[in-house]
Amino acid sequence: MEMEKRLYEAALEGNVSSLKAIIQEDPLILDRISSTFYQDTPLHIAILRGHLEFARAVLSSNPRLATECDLLGHLPLHVASTKGHIEIIHELVRVSLSSCLARSKDGKLPLHLAISKGVRVEVVRELAQACPESMQSRVDRGDTVLHLCVKYENLDAIQVILEVLNGENDGNNLLNVRNEDGNTILHLAALQRHLEVFLFP
């Protein structure tokens, strides 16, 4: 248990040299570790703190941890998307592209979380380009990613998503999709007085 404690302390500090020393002493420690002992894995902790190099070192030693959930059902990519750590997102997507389509316990994909938390639009672009399929996925009440953009007042993300779709029919279709309440994004924009949405192509 002492070794695990040292590992978690290294994750909190982002101390890569401590991580390497721990792995040298116990080469299987990252294989045994899971969120059953702690609420988060060392990778989740490093991501919460924004420790890119530590996250890279963990992924290099054990890429499986990219698909390990914390106790809230969040993969590391959910956490990185919520926090807006674009470099870490890039690493996680490289290791586990399928994580882009993984739903958290509340049914959200990493892209949905990035939009709802209002992180930098570069994060939305990175996730949308990595997995265009995620832009077609709906959340509760049938909301699309564009509905979420309006609901969470992340209007810059609308432009990014339309750019990624690059004027394809998918973009036009998304603009006209109705949620379970019968609202398109234009209906929502009018209800919430976001008139600038009407200027999007």
Gap between the Cα atoms of 100 and 141, Å rounded: 21
Task: Tell me which of 134, 149, 184 is where a domain ends.
Answer: 134
Return the pLDDT at 37.
54
Query: Which range marks the domain in which residue 175 is found?
Result: 138-201
- Residue 35 shares a structural domain with residue 113: yes
Gap between the Cα atoms of 43 and 75, Å rounded: 10
- Residue 9 shares a structural domain with residue 62: yes
Return the pLDDT at 166.
78
Task: Tell me which of 134, 152, 187 is where a domain ends.
Answer: 134
- Residue 42 shares a structural domain with residue 106: yes
Q: Domain holding 27: CATH number? A: 1.25.40.20
As for how many domains the chain has, the answer is: 2
- Residue 114 shares a structural domain with residue 149: no
- Residue 166 shares a structural domain with residue 102: no
- Residue 26 shares a structural domain with residue 111: yes
Is residue 187 within 8 A of residue 151, CB to CB? The reply is: no
- Residue 1 shares a structural domain with residue 73: yes
Return the pLDDT at 180.
92
Task: Tell me which of 134, 161, 193 is where a domain ends.
Answer: 134
Gap between the Cα atoms of 163 and 166, Å rounded: 5
Return the pLDDT at 94.
97
Return the pLDDT at 167.
53
What the block records as the tokens of 112 is: 């949905």
Please write down the HEC assignment for all residues of the chain.
Answer: CHHHHHHHHHHHHCCHHHHHHHHHHCCCHHHHCCCCCCCCCHHHHHHHHCCHHHHHHHHHHCHHHHHCCCCCCCCHHHHHHHHCCHHHHHHHHHHCHHHHHCCCCCCCCHHHHHHHHCCCHHHHHHHHHHCHHHHHCCCHHHCCHHHHHHHCCCHHHHHHHHHHHCCCHHHHHHHHCCCCCCCCHHHHHHHCCCHHHHHCC
pLDDT in tens, the chain (201 residues): 788 899 999 999 999 999 999 999 999 999 887 645 567 899 999 999 999 999 999 999 999 999 999 888 899 999 999 999 999 999 999 999 999 999 988 899 999 999 999 888 999 999 999 999 999 999 988 999 999 998 898 888 988 998 898 755 455 578 888 999 998 887 777 776 665 555 555
For the whole model, what pTM was predicted? 0.88
- Residue 175 shares a structural domain with residue 90: no
> Which residues, 6 or more positions from 14, have their beta carbon under 8 angstroms from its beta carbon?
46, 49, 51, 53, 54
- Residue 126 shares a structural domain with residue 195: no
Return the pLDDT at 33.
79
Return the pLDDT at 29.
92
Question: Interhelix angle for 52-61 vs 86-95, to 10°?
Answer: 10
- Residue 104 shares a structural domain with residue 142: no
22-46 confidence digits (pLDDT tens): 999 999 999 887 645 567 899 999 9
- Residue 124 shares a structural domain with residue 154: no
- Residue 195 shares a structural domain with residue 106: no
